[in-house]
Amino acid sequence: MPQVESVISRAAARSFASNPKFAAVFIRLFFHDCFINGCDASILLDSTPTGEPVEKISPANDKTIKEKRSSSRGFPYYRIQGGRRAGLTSRASDVIENLPFPTMTVDTMIELYARKGFTIEDMAVLAGAHSIGNVHCKMFDYRLYLNLTDTKVPPVEPWFAANLKTKCLPPRLGTTEERDDAIVKFDPATPFTLDSFFYITLLRGRGLLESDQVLVSDPQTRRIVREMAFYPGAWIRKFVQAMIKMGTLDMLTGDEGKIRRNCRVFN
């Protein structure tokens, strides 16, 4: 299909125009697919012939799929390598050990990203995707209410923390459903613009996820955060390079995998 690129581009543009949240969800979906067993669309499968629980039902992926059904403005266009084929497996059990979590230390994240062939700088640069989209309060609310004098958890800047407490109940209060539904924007200043302002929020102590905020306190990543904050053009260039690199993780080509007629099911 020679016009496939333009067809996909028009469909994506319509989706972004109808719901600006779609851009952040799409980036997260891309990351969650590629980091498990390569970019093979295995996260989209509803089921497999083996009957094993599929990737999309893992707790780490559940919100990604749901939000996709529920913005990247001014960012430079770049081409994504085509020719890849879809995977033949999708296992929920593969997800946990392959994705970063909000409480991870820098050392643990470096080890995880290194297994995928990424450098420390790649890791810190890709974190900038958190400049758009929402985050569930339950992913960070413990940082607002813990006695931080007795823990190594990085504190949230006091004024910002007070504001967040008006939106995020203490973990011991509220129903599970209320905690699941409570969300805030990663970057309230430019929530629909993919930019390097995210790194300024980290320098101000306003990062929401612990795994983001520790990038400032750890000497292995502090310099990178400062560079990305003060040189936005450098971040854009490096982010594009890292996204292209991620898009080639364990690509299936030639006779490997399949070309699905429906993205959600095996042929």
Would you list which residues are annotated within the binding site?
33, 38, 40, 42, 55, 100, 130, 187, 190, 195
H/E segment holding residue 113: helix 106-115
Which residues contact residue 108 at a Cβ distance below 8 angstroms, ignoring those fewer than 6 apart?
none
**CA torsion, points 69, 75, 79, 85, in degrees to nearest 10?**
-20
Residue among 38, 139, 52, 48 at smallest CA distance from 98: 38
Residue 232, exposed/middle/buried by CB under 10 A (0-12, 13-18, 19+)? middle
Burial class (CB in 10 A: 0-12, 13-18, 19+), 177: exposed
Q: Give CA–CA dist 52/227, Å, rounded.
A: 44
Q: Which residues of 24-54 are buried (b: 16+ CB within 10 A; e: fewer)?
A: bbbbbbbbbbbbbbbbbbbbbbeebeeeeeb
Q: Collapsing DSSP states into helix, strand and coil, what is residue 185?
A: strand
* Three-state DSSP class for residue 258: strand
Please give the positions annotated as active site.
32
Residue owning tokens 């990543």 = 221
